Structure 1
Amino acid sequence: MATETDTTSDDIDWRSGSSSVEMSRRDRLKEKYRRLVYEPTVVAWSDTRTRLGILILSVYLLMAAVAVLGLWREPNPNQAGRLIKPFQNWSYPLGTTLSGVDLLALIIDSTPFILLMVVAGGVWATGVAILVGTVSGYKGGTVDTVITSISDFFMAIPGLPLVIVLAITLSPENPILLGLILTINYWAGLGRSIRSQVLSIREASYVEASRTMGTSTPRIIAKDVLPNIMPYVMVNFVLAARYTIFASVGLYFIGVLPYTGQNWGVTLNNAYNQGGLFTMQALHWLLVPIIAIVGLSFGLVLVSQGMDRIFNPRVRTRLTGESESIEEESSTSTTEIM
């Protein structure tokens, strides 16, 4: 009987241990969801600018999905509908070009290419800048000297002539490659700025405490340094993305980049060459891609303005209701003690 009892108790202990492990894993997942999804969503949605920015970017993502799935007509010439003005014929809501091409179809068809290029350029520029700036600023010494010298070398190279030479030499047709070329040395200046931010952060008491506890350098950078510079990084990510948009459209407009497929810069070039700037009849042909460019840039700026609230722990605590629960718990504890 004793043996059976012991076995049963051991079995119960094993099962309870398994249950506690499952509960702890579930709690960890819930904590990650709260920290990475729920809190940022609540904070972002509490800001009118961020809501508007997300709405604008959602329109562009929807257009990209429509283009990828082929849910809208192809931008093909149609002689029966030449230079139709916007909202005059609802079959062509944004009007048509001189050859009868649907302008809305042109914008939709160009959107996936533009978004891929913008993301590639922004991620490349900010990613390299974060790596260079954090390592250089935190490590110091010889590492800082070497990385800073490399950054200075790339900063000394004129950006636009370099991009034009690479564009003519490589004739990039892939949007990701084009984004990398357009921001080939954009990271250098941003890396130096991030380095200056990290130089002040690495002397903070909590960073020093992590070093004293023997925490590894990558973990200190990831846990203590990066969260403090993320608002600055996100703003510069948007600036890099906007730079990519404007640079690509400008180079397509002047004919440096190859005219492969449809692009907002190509549409601007065609509109300008065929009288879009000088005749009221074709003015919409010029304005539609300009509005698309400005709208995407404006949406990115609005979203970036809300990033500071998302990465600010005080704002997150207040808006997610944690501070109220903490105050209630402290007041309850004080009452019980009294």
Structure 2
Amino acid sequence: MKPSHLADLLKRYLQDSTIEGETWTVDQWYEARDMPRPTPPTPAEQAAAKARAWQRIQARTRPRPVAWRRPAVRWAAAALLVLGLSLAWLGVPHRPAAGLARHPTATTAEQLTVTAEAGGWQRSTNQTGHALLLALADGSTVTLQPGSWLRYPARFAPGHERVVELSGEAFFAVFHDARRRFRVLTPQLETTVLGTSFTVRAVPGQAEATVEVRTGAVRVCPSTASPAVGAAVVVRPNQQVVYSVAAPVLRPVLVAEPALLRPQPLSFEERPVAEVLASLEAGYGVPIRYTGAALAGCTVSLAFGTENLFEKLDLLCKTLGATYERTDEAIIFRSRGCQSE
């Protein structure tokens, strides 16, 4: 993440204007560095925190061996501290983490069990009853669920793919690196990305293995040990691919409850229905298909609240007397037109 983008993201986070996905990114960024999330400081807190900032920055940035190897981002974080954008690190009270409703909050109060292996690899196992956060050397983070383990290199070799092995369930927030793909290996599936966020479930003994994408896109193919049928598939936001021995064909499908990816207008006053559908499509990243002629001249006045995507569609359909159908990859919206309206 570029320092300028990080500064803007943290500023909007303090102003409580980030969307769910952005809030999750900031929370993971702070968790990965064992730092509390910030809240807007009072003028007195800001003045006191600035006075302490340089001492802490100097202490934390003295040369020493570290796994985090992106000094530009590291110094950008230090600059943000002085600007007051991350003063919570200096003792300012913080607000509870938000935007993790679909992924249990990871905690750093308890520790993963780490075992060193040959060849510079190590295995981190979550033997607790809570999700635990693991920060990898490339800046990626992994939220490891109870009973799961991740095997990974202590340091990823420069110029090579970043490869990890998973048993169980984990949510990955992968640091983007166009030169080095990131691969997650399980006994059933292999997932390949450049940088995105997604969940992999491959629990031993369970009949199904799942890859669910939150942001970006991933490439999923059968592992060499699985009898899956067909070639690799690309899975996009709010889609998942499920593998089982009974149904070994890989096919992306919509998740049960798509997450809002970016904010969109909530109120519409005599606006074209096509505009409302376009807003929902952009907000959730889910294709919504309809016949343009059937909606020509159709307008609607309504206000959405905290409903999920399908509840919003239900409200729109009730207003118009329309219907919709979910397919594997899209939503088909059907209307008889507005002649009788």
If the TM-score is normalised by the length of the shorter chain, which range does it land in?
A: under 0.3
Greater strand share, structure number: 2
TM-score by length of structure 2 reads: 0.20
The structure whose Rg is larger is 1
Greater helix share, structure number: 1
TM-score by length of structure 1 reads: 0.20
**Relative contact order: is structure 1 or structure 2 higher (C-alpha 8 Å, sep ≥ 6)?**
1
